[in-house]
Structure 1
Amino acid sequence: MTLAMPEDKYIQVDGINTRYWALGEIGSPVVLIHGQGGAVDYWYKNVFVLAQHHQVYALDWVGSGKTDKPEKTYTVDDISQFILHFVEAMGLSKASLIAGSIGGAIALKIALAAPERIDKLVLIGAGGLGQEVALPARLTSLPLVGEVLNHPSPRAAKFMVQQCIYDPEPYLHDKAFMDLVLRNMSSDILQFQTRTFRTMGNVFGIKPDFWRSICDRLAEIQSPTLVIWGQQDRAFPVSHGERAAIAIPNAKLQVFDSCGHLPYLEHADAFNRLVIEFLAH
């Protein structure tokens, strides 16, 4: 069985050949921002439903998916600027952001740097809200160790699914999904992501200067914000979501039980309903 995917499109952003999806012709624009090791592919359960209500844009940010992977090191701030430039290239003056994992940290950086460009925020298991992060990520920050651990293989793909998804068995037996995972674990992707992670994390977790640069300013965010978390998220603890929901003035938290780091896949129908309702009000 194949997974239904929109048509791939490409555009130059900052000289980077960038893959994106664009679908939906009604409603306000939303931009989907994946996390590290992610790609537009992972939104396959969401984009068609969202596009019934909104103009939906999703991109592989620089170093990810089918977008170019420069050999230089990009920080989260660099990637935030890259995504802002993508939004401009799409001709959008303002958009809502739906962002997962480190993509959530990117979205928060964008909301703090260019609040006038952001309508609403949906943060899913977002990074950058505290020091705690899963041990495998911390280990990749170590010189040489990260290069050894971040090696593409079916075994590595299986490990990632087991780490990210609360009930991984159905996914592990879905060849099309596992092909998707392995496709987004090529050596050049993993090397790029490792360099980026080292700018914000080390063996002890997310660096204090990084997460404090976000957490100390959460009260400045004026966009209505929906924080979504999996109760059993192994990447970032649900306490980070609680922190964001308390500190951001117009925020609410929704926690999915029996759910890991990918609520938009693990509880896709409930996730889609929740987000569409939030964006409508």
Structure 2
Amino acid sequence: MTSEDELDALQRGAEQRLYAHYGLSYTERFVSALGTSIRVVDIAGDPAKRPVLLLHGIASVTAAAIPLIPAFDGAPVIAVDWPGHGLSGPFPFAKGTDLREFTTAILDAVLEQTAGAVDVVAHSLGGQFALYYCLARPERVHRLVLLGAPGGAFAELRPPASMRFLALPGFGARMLGTVVPFEQYKANSAITLGAGTVDPWPIELVEVGWYASQRRAFAESLPGLFRTIASVFGVRRSAVIRHEDLATITIPVLLVWGTDDVFLSPERARPSWTRMPHAELVELEANHAPWLNQPEQAAAAVHAFLAD
């Protein structure tokens, strides 16, 4: 049985190799919010450029987006491990947890020492939380990149059965608390990312997530997080952003979205994302992590948007 300290060391070692592979230097820090510890990775960049806040998705890690960071036009990056993820502490996500208040508290703490507005690049659930933050703190977000379907933010989402089952009391805790072998963990990524998506990439991209999924904080947090977003019947109304609220997000928004996104296609979501007056769609032949399926096209779109 691997101890928590050993898991943390293994996760950090895999991260170090992955960052080194892409020639990135970084430091880590911890901030307190909502009674837990939030791990933040600061990736070095040109201090004259606007920082990019990088937000990962549910049951994922920042490592998955590392291959896209060279497209950020040399900007410094502030990468967040959500509670229960990466090396952050746990959060119970008890019944009645307000995800919008949760998001605002976490990101306010993360950005407390960052002056001015930031650009945000967010994947999946990170996109849902990024949209919440745009509504709560519009002065803090300059531009927004949404990678894939943004969690449960759009009313058109119909969660796949796997997500609904993980929201079931008891079932999700058993599934997410079960340690699976590395090869099985890697194979499971096909459910949300598509078959073979991670195969061309450095193995550390998968290893970081595997080690993180074995920590107690993951098992203590993720079942409640799934339940705050979805039930066996679908996405909870409290998670969805109303069209009239989306219309108030007037910053430039780039959506890099795969036609075959397992959660929600860009066409099906058109009634929601088109409510944002300055939203631009780049649709790729890809699944839920388009920068891993179509790296050159995704990187070009993100680079052009952030360099503008």
Residue 201 of structure 1 corresponds to which residue in structure 2? 230
Return the letter of the residue paired with 1:227: L
**2:49 aligned with 1:27:** yes
Deviation at 1:38, TM superposition (A): 1.7
Return the letter of the residue paired with 1:19: R
Cα distance in 2, alignment partners of residues 76 and 24 from structure 1? 31
Cα distance in 2, alignment partners of residues 39 and 98 from structure 1? 14
**What are the equivalent positions in structure 2 for 1:89-128 lying under 5 Å apart?**
89-125=112-148, 126-127=150-151, 128=153
**2:271 aligned with 1:243:** yes
Q: CA contact under 8 A between 1:134 and 1:236: conserved in structure 2? A: no
For residues 223-257 of structure 1, the C-alpha deviation after alignment (integer angstroms, 9 at most, x for no partner) is 11111211111123333542343111011111110
Return the letter of the residue paired with 1:239: E
Q: 1:238 to 1:92 in 2, by over 3 A?
A: same
Return the letter of the residue paired with 2:51: P
User: For 1:210, what is the secondary structure of its paired residue?
Assistant: coil
Deviation at 1:172, TM superposition (A): 8.8
Residue 184 of structure 1 corresponds to which residue in structure 2? 212
Cα distance in 1, alignment partners of residues 187 and 180 from structure 2? 10
Q: CA contact under 8 A between 2:31 and 2:40: conserved in structure 1? A: no
Q: CA contact under 8 A between 1:10 and 1:17: conserved in structure 2? A: no
Return the letter of the residue paired with 1:27: K
**2:129 aligned with 1:129:** no
**2:108 aligned with 1:80:** no
Moved more, 232-241 or 169-178: 169-178
In structure 2, runs of 5+ residues without a counterpart are: 1-13
Q: 1:45 to 1:222 in 2, by over 3 A?
A: same
Q: 1:92 to 1:167 in 2, by over 3 A?
A: farther
2:188 pairs with 139, 160, 166, which one?
160
Deviation at 1:42, TM superposition (A): 1.5
In structure 1, runs of 5+ residues without a counterpart are: none
Q: CA RMSD in A?
A: 2.5
Return the letter of the residue paired with 2:19: A
User: For 2:304, what is the secondary structure of its paired residue?
Assistant: helix
- Percent identity of the aligned residues? 23
1:9 pairs with 19, 24, 28, which one?
28
User: For 1:84, what is the secondary structure of its paired residue?
Assistant: helix
User: For 2:247, what is the secondary structure of its paired residue?
Assistant: helix
Residue 66 of structure 2 corresponds to which residue in structure 1? 44
User: For 2:142, what is the secondary structure of its paired residue?
Assistant: strand
Deviation at 1:36, TM superposition (A): 0.6
Residue 210 of structure 1 corresponds to which residue in structure 2? 239
Cα distance in 1, alignment partners of residues 267 and 114 from structure 2? 37
Deviation at 1:32, TM superposition (A): 0.6
Q: 1:244 to 1:124 in 2, by over 3 A?
A: farther
TM-score of the aligned structures, taking structure 2 as reference length: 0.81
Deviation at 1:81, TM superposition (A): 1.4
Residue 82 of structure 2 corresponds to which residue in structure 1? 61
For residues 7-50 of structure 1, the C-alpha deviation after alignment (integer angstroms, 9 at most, x for no partner) is 34013232543322222123212101111112222222122442
Deviation at 1:206, TM superposition (A): 0.7
Return the letter of the residue paired with 2:158: E
User: For 1:11, what is the secondary structure of its paired residue?
Assistant: strand
Q: CA contact under 8 A between 1:13 and 1:82: conserved in structure 2? A: no
Deviation at 1:220, TM superposition (A): 0.7
Moved more, 169-178 or 137-146: 169-178
Q: CA contact under 8 A between 1:227 and 1:251: conserved in structure 2? A: yes
Cα distance in 2, alignment partners of residues 185 and 101 from structure 1? 18
Cα distance in 1, alignment partners of residues 77 and 29 from structure 2? 15
1:255 pairs with 248, 267, 283, which one?
283
Cα distance in 2, alignment partners of residues 176 and 49 from structure 1? 20
Return the letter of the residue paired with 1:136: S
